[in-house]
Amino acid sequence: TWKEYVGKEFTMDPLLLLGTEMEQGQLAARRLPLRFPPIVEKMLLPTRKRPPHDGPQRDVERVWSVDMGDGTDDHECSVASVIHASSANQILALVGSRVVSVDSRSGEFLWSVDLADDNDSVAGCKKVKKELLSVAQSKDRGDGLGKFLVGDDRGAVHLLSWPGKNVEDDAGHRRSAPRVINSRMFPYNAPVARRRRTSSSSWVEKVAWSPDGTCFAAAAGKRLRVNGNILEMRGTIHDLAFLHAHHLVAAVYGGLVLVDIVGGEIIPCKAFNVGASAALACSISPGGNAMAVGLFDRRVRVFQRRLHKDEEDEGEAGRWEAEHDWAGFDGGVAGVAWSPDGRYLAALGGGVLLAAGQGLGGGGGPIL
């Protein structure tokens, strides 16, 4: 008997289907023709070696390093997330239950705030501090560094800001630590100790701010909280990105999901077709007219927003069309990001780091 698989599309190598002939005790196989999705142009990463340089080869130079240890006996403490504060030369790092700020140019320590509290003990387990997993910065609306949103492994999101006016030193840095002005919980069951790793449904691993800084989104497992609404996705949410003030894109195990922020509903959208692969990361360009999606099948798909005269900017997210794919990574692409001016795209998949110009055509080569 032959076992056949009928799928909508394949993006991998030709599939071999196996069958057995019981009487002869033999194993047979046949190759099926492939039906590729209506793909845009695929651009492979260059594999040729760089030409030899005249003179000695220069190694990558470490500019600075800073020890994030908190002085305790917990040697498993690690940096969970790092972002660059857009309105100042600061890097924010999440270390255990602390938010740490350092100068991005010198590595000088600026401030630290610990979000641990007396309620961190878990029933039936030894006392374990909460661990911060995600951080995002709101748009600066004239209050210095804006506000910070932090998600932890207990199903909570914390809003941090500074009271009063902005007071900076001569270098333009704020030395005082922000304080928590609000904390919100997801409606989940009782949390589970992180080291047991028996459940991750309450781990808020992704947070994001809307472009105008008036709304935030947070994801834990398959659940998304945005504008006071809780939505259940069909797969684990790996990343979040706001298209603009009214629409949000979630990268899930089944692809991309478009969410109406005002109505709190999932919008059917065929424009964001990524094939039969899981979406691991997504990023919107600063101008809002391009989106990059990192996929599990070792490629990056780039979408472009096409605006027409009869469409408004605040319409149904505009018309998005797939422009091209970057293929050739040696692992799933779990990180994508745009440069501040939107001219370059960076992507990390396995051990390959891509930095490509946005204006490159089909024959263009990326900058590695």
Q: What is the pLDDT along the chain (368 residues), one digit of tens a residue?
A: 444 445 444 444 444 445 544 445 555 555 544 444 344 445 555 543 344 444 444 454 666 777 766 544 443 455 666 776 655 677 888 888 888 888 877 888 888 888 887 565 544 455 567 888 998 888 765 545 578 889 998 888 898 887 655 555 555 555 677 777 777 776 544 343 443 344 457 889 999 988 888 888 999 988 999 888 888 888 889 999 998 778 899 999 878 899 988 888 888 877 788 887 899 999 999 888 889 999 998 888 888 887 655 544 444 456 788 878 888 788 899 999 988 788 888 888 888 888 877 665 444 445 45
Same domain, 82 and 186: yes
Instruction: Tell me: do 83 and 197 sit in the same domain.
Output: yes
321 falls within a domain: yes
Write the CB contacts of 32 (distance below 8 Å, at least 6 apart in sequence). Answer: 14, 15, 17
How does DSSP classify residue 194? G
Tell me whether residue 19 is in a domain.
Answer: yes
Are 31 and 104 in the same domain? no
Do 147 and 278 lie in one domain? The reply is no
* Chosen domain end from 221, 249, 284: 221
- Any domain includes 44: no
Long-range contacts of 220-227 (CB under 8 A, 24+ apart): 220/151, 220/155, 220/186, 220/188, 222/252, 223/186, 223/188, 224/250, 224/259, 225/157, 225/184, 225/186, 226/259, 226/261, 226/264, 227/261, 227/262, 227/264
First to last CA, the chain: 49
Helix (H) or strand (E) holding 344: strand 344-349
d(CA 196, CA 125): 9
- Residues 132 and 181 both lie in one domain: yes
**pTM higher than 0.75 for the full model?**
no
| Total structural domains within the chain | 3
Same domain, 216 and 251: no
Cross-strand pairs, 247: 260
* Whether 167 and 273 share a structural domain: no
**CA nearest to 219, candidates 195, 236, 234, 199:** 236
Instruction: Report pLDDT for 246.
Output: 83
Residue 74 corresponds to which tokens in the numbers above? 């917990």
Tokens 């991309």 belong to residue = 256
List the CATH number of the domain containing 299.
2.130.10.10
3-state SS, residue 44: strand
Distance CA 279, CA 335 (A): 11
Domain that holds residue 147: 78-221
